[in-house]
Amino acid sequence: MSIETLSTAQLRAAAIEVLRVNDLGTMTTAAPNLYPHMWSWDAAFISIGLARVSVPRAITELRTLLAAQWTTGMIPHIVFTDDDTGYFPGFDRWGTANAAALPPGTRSSGICQPPVHAIALRHILDRARENGGSDQQAAESFLAESFDGWLAWHRWLATVRDPDGVGLVEIHHGWESGFDNSPRWDGPYSRVVPGEVEPFTRRDTLHVADASERPDDAEYTKYLWLVQQMASVRFDDDAVRDTIDFRVRDVFFSGIMAASSEVLAGLGDELGRTGDAAELRELAARFRAGVASTVDPATGLARDYDVLASEWISTDTVSGFAPLVAGGDPGLLERQRDLLQGPHWMGHPDLRFPLPPSTSPASPAFRPRTYWRGPVWPFLNLLLGWASARDGQEHLHGSLRSASLDQLSDLKFAEYYDPLSGTPLGSFAQAWTAAAALEWIG
Ligand code: 2M8
């Protein structure tokens, strides 16, 4: 069914139902069975969708996440519910109970994810002001209440994760990127040699139709080895940097850092926090420049950097479009927009919908059904759409919007989609996919 035959009212109602099913009251699970906890960047996108339905509920989502912020400023990538949901690795396996920076009474993982949160807060505030009245009051007081938390988060990323001030965020686990098993990380992971890893039973493979779509056990052993390495130093930031076998400057994370710092600066202006706003604008400029510095002149795509191997990571993945998220030099962005809409990406002739796959179908690394190795991720298209609207690119925004609405009109709200057949894959009723639909509908 395309969006022409399905009414937007039906799509909206179905998306709202997905958010309702995942709603635990003060947090929304990323998906009903596969991801029964709160994930950091999922929560940000979810709150964008929630703001189209209920501003107070959207605020609650971000407030819950922020309540789990570590004393260092880090916002953890998973906030666990109190229930034993069977998700692996759960709170106990993470070993974060021994971390000095874990706030008392909270249960979280010990790594982070990209900082989309200020962008989400901006959306909530905009919706609240459109509504006026108590929504506006609630969003404005939440901004005042939470600003210091978001500022501490950005400062932590800028200092602890970019100690040399190169304008790129260093990550210590593929999970921090959110692009778990992307070809981006094949090189760094090939050099991770796990020591003794405690025995484990995976649960993720129970919730997908075909286990070959997920990372294999050898990959998972490496993921757990890195967690063990961090736990062995109680997740102390400096000690982790000295211990960990995975240190990569993540260009897409950095692009989000740039964009989000700019947005947070604007929110700081509204509160009269002039000095903080100026500091955030400097961060935005630093990370924009960092992202632009990675662009491979031959391909026009941005690259990650493997710190331990001292080498660039060149892949044909959607992360190469980090400059489009970061914003910046008009010439660079124009070249990137041409590439994005060209035959290796949105314009590839075999695509079911003209949307960017996570890996280009023209790349030998492309796997159309395997998680972060090829499928289309709807929430990423929303992010690219937001950035294109910010930059006045109505045409690109419109193309992403109409193709996304067509894709999502299957009402499955899948975690990811096969770019060639359009088949929904991974978890269904994935909350950030439903949120993306709500935001695209508007
Ligand atoms: C996936 O990651 C988690 C680990 O964090 C997993 O595989 O268990 C990724 O797609 C990540 O980007 C996402 O935030 C998370 C929840 O949707 O699932």
- Domain positions in the chain are 8-441
pLDDT tens for 233-261 read 999 999 999 999 999 999 999 999 999 99
H-helix segments, 161-273? 174-177, 186-190, 217-232, 237-243, 251-270
- The CATH architecture one would assign to domain 8-441 is Alpha/alpha barrel (1.50)
> Which range (85-99, 140-154, 311-325) has the least confidence?
85-99
Cα atoms in the Cβ-side hemisphere of radius 13 Å centred on 174? 22
CA 48/CA 251 separation, integer angstroms: 23
Please give the pLDDT value at position 1: 54
69: CA distance to ligand 1 center in Å?
Answer: 19
Residue nearest to atom 10 of ligand 1 (CA): 178
- Local confidence band at 340 (pLDDT 50, 70, 90 cut-offs): very high
At residue 108, the 3 state secondary structure works out as: strand
Percentage of the chain beyond pLDDT 70 is 99
Query: For ligand 1, what atom is nearest to the CA of residue 34?
Result: 8
Please give the pLDDT value at position 4: 62
How much is the average pLDDT of 80-103?
92
- Closest alpha carbon to 340 in 268, 308, 298, 388: 388
Query: For ligand 1, what atom is nearest to the CA of residue 78?
Result: 5
Query: For ligand 1, what atom is nearest to the CA of residue 430?
Result: 17
Higher pLDDT, 86 or 9: 9
Pocket test for ligand 1, best of 22, 39, 380 (most atoms within 8 A of CB): 39
CB contact at 8 A, 431 and 46: yes
87: CA distance to ligand 1 center in Å?
Answer: 12
> In this model, does residue 35 exceed pLDDT 80?
yes
CA 218/CA 183 separation, integer angstroms: 15
Mean pLDDT of all residues belonging to the chain: 97
> In this model, does residue 207 exceed pLDDT 90?
no
Query: For ligand 1, what atom is nearest to the CA of residue 178?
Result: 12
> In this model, does residue 121 exceed pLDDT 80?
yes
What global pTM score does this model have? Answer: 0.98
What proportions of the chain, in percent to the nearest 5, are helix, strand and coil? 55, 5, 40
- Local confidence band at 2 (pLDDT 50, 70, 90 cut-offs): low
169: CA distance to ligand 1 center in Å?
Answer: 19
> What are the catalytic residues?
180, 415
Residue nearest to atom 4 of ligand 1 (CA): 175
Please give the pLDDT value at position 189: 98
> In this model, does residue 437 exceed pLDDT 70?
yes
- Local confidence band at 204 (pLDDT 50, 70, 90 cut-offs): confident
Please give the pLDDT value at position 206: 83
175: CA distance to ligand 1 center in Å?
Answer: 7
pLDDT tens for 351-405 read 999 999 999 999 999 999 999 999 999 999 999 999 999 999 999 999 999 999 9
395: CA distance to ligand 1 center in Å?
Answer: 31
C-alpha torsion 202→187→163→298, nearest 10? -130
Q: What number is the ipTM of this complex?
A: 0.99
Query: For ligand 1, what atom is nearest to the CA of residue 415?
Result: 17
Q: The tokens 């009212």 sit on which residue? A: 9
pLDDT tens for 127-182 read 999 999 999 999 999 999 999 999 999 999 999 999 999 999 999 999 999 999 99
- Local confidence band at 212 (pLDDT 50, 70, 90 cut-offs): confident
Query: Is the CB of residue 213 below 6 angstroms from any atom belonging to ligand 1?
Result: no
Pocket test for ligand 1, best of 28, 65, 180 (most atoms within 8 A of CB): 180
> In this model, does residue 101 exceed pLDDT 60?
yes
125: CA distance to ligand 1 center in Å?
Answer: 27
CA 188/CA 183 separation, integer angstroms: 10
Query: Is the CB of residue 42 below 6 angstroms from any atom belonging to ligand 1?
Result: yes
Residue nearest to atom 3 of ligand 1 (CA): 175
